[in-house]
Amino acid sequence: MSRAFENDPRLKHMDPGRLSALQSLAKELEAAPGDQKMAAFLSAGQKAAREHVSFSAEEQELLIQILMEGMSGEERKKAEAVRKLAGRIQKNRPGA
């Protein structure tokens, strides 16, 4: 997995705690076999939630880009489906 995202200009203004969580996620995804990246991503999201770490929409987009690096076409389709579902859930949350 490429670590090119680390040079993304959007990271310059990211909260250090969220940046650390993002880097940790990238390492987990890098180590996960291709067919387990989605599970690793979801697990990392749950861990971040337990630690009260949240990401802005822009940061979430960057996370998705990281997740999708190196995925097969079928895995990308699954990731896109999860992405769309998450977007719908976010829209329907109170206060959204």
Give residue-wise pLDDT tens across range 46-88.
Answer: 887 888 877 777 777 777 777 677 677 887 888 788 778 877 7
CA angle in degrees (0–180, nearest 5) for 58-64-69: 130
Q: In the structure encoding, which two tokens stand for residue 6, read together?
A: 């680390």
What pLDDT shows up at residue 93? 66
Which residues, including other chains, have CB under 8 Å from residue 32's CB and lie 6 or more apart? Answer: 39, 40
30/48 Cα distance (integer angstroms): 17
Phi/psi of residue 53, each to 5°? -105, 125
Does the predicted model carry a pTM greater than 0.75? Answer: no
64/83 Cα distance (integer angstroms): 8
Give the model confidence (pLDDT) of 17-43 as tens digits.
Answer: 788 877 887 787 778 887 787 787 778
What pLDDT shows up at residue 3? 65
* Statement: residue 96 has pLDDT above 60: no
